[in-house]
Structure 1
């Protein structure tokens, strides 16, 4: 996917620590209300659900305008049961996928939101997989890296400790479910016509034949406007009991649920 403009708002905050001085990977969503950037962000999100080359045909077959079709069948709506939760989950997962792809330079397949059974229902399995090849030409190498990312969001709260703990706790389950997610993603990408990405994912299903490095990320996001004295209050890093192959990423910003609704209301084209 093309890099969306809002990614420039994701700013690294160095030196942020837990109460026991253990560090974490922290970013702030430092934004201003800019119509052009919000429109671009909304289009980026909409393309995760349905690509451009399918949208007009889908709308026409349902005898609806594109906007009507998106609102009725595709985009979670604020007034629907579980609509706000679906919006929160989706924008958060897409944000972390963008962070890992466009800021940290991993490859991230985009297929989880595509053509799902219900617009307010999330798929099971690892939230995001990201990977990086070591050798040119993507020949299997022991230094290839797979990252399994579990995302937890509290966009209506400025609380940080709980959402970080929940993300880390669920991240520890990914060791069991990542293989199922890889298989599902490979098949879904192939169905979407993304054969090259499907082949990339298939490489990471061959760990016995071609070993690689695996790491796990607990990714949390909430509406904490600012971090006082660069300390996450109410949580110690040691209490998370991180494994050697596990890390924490935290994104925060002001009024993120309100911002989410502003973005999703623009997902109409």
Structure 2
């Protein structure tokens, strides 16, 4: 399979805890990457590319005479320069990073179906940003679904992206059924049928109750990241505030990193 967690060696727990205006706490992680580490960048780029199109499908989907690079850049990846492509790149990068954190560091199962069936590359997929699952074979009451809203600002000046993530997370409960249905459809379309029963399980909260939690994450470049600004966030009006967890990620020149990752992903296939 194309998936890898090698790049998460760059994700550092800073030990910093942001206390928000409503008293909730947000852990802070720093993404301390190294562009010169070509081995890790290459593995990460493959992992990243396959969210948009599995390597074995490119030959089938690309047009006659079209190179793999041109197909990925023109038909699959959000644009590097044409609006709103850069902002879509920023959002996708952040969502995939949070997905990797939840799957490889927190032990959740995160279906990777959000990006590969978009008809228009420069649009975001509707629905919840990240859905993550844990299944307890011995006691289904302990099964857990975690619904994360992710907001990114990879360049610019300080802004409270955590508040923005919290505000958008408040809508997740309303669109959850559609998000689960969308995941199941895309899994079926890709012949990944083994995961479908797990999704079906989380569509039945009445007969088989489970734990349902929510999360809000801010992913910011160092120029945007400011503890004082983020600490102004207030989740007291969130409908699931009691089960809401908060995260913040930051790193240097993250937009430059995202563009580099897309370029490597397109070039090495």
1:114 aligns with 2:109: no
Residue 40 of structure 2: aligned partner: 37
Secondary structure in 2 aligned to 1:54?
Answer: helix
Residue 4 of structure 1: aligned partner: 5
Residue 72 of structure 1: aligned partner: 74
Secondary structure in 2 aligned to 1:14?
Answer: strand
Residue 145 of structure 1: aligned partner: 144
Using structure 2 for the length normalisation, give the TM-score: 0.90
How far is 1:31 from its partner? Answer: 1.3
Secondary structure in 1 aligned to 2:141?
Answer: coil
How far is 1:102 from its partner? Answer: 0.6
Structure 1 gap ranges (5+):
none
Aligned 8 A contact 2:147 2:172 in 1: yes
How far is 1:19 from its partner? Answer: 6.1
Matched residues, number: 261
Rate the CA distance shift 1:235–1:39 in 2: closer, same or farther, 3 A.
Answer: closer
Residue 174 of structure 1: aligned partner: 172
Structure 2 gap ranges (5+):
none
Residue 86 of structure 2: aligned partner: 84
Aligned 8 A contact 2:4 2:44 in 1: no
Which of 209, 226, 229 aligns to 1:234? It is: 229
How far is 1:180 from its partner? Answer: 1.2
CA distance in 1: counterparts of 2:207 and 2:24, whole angstroms: 37
Secondary structure in 2 aligned to 1:234?
Answer: helix
1:51 aligns with 2:54: yes
Aligned 8 A contact 2:215 2:244 in 1: yes
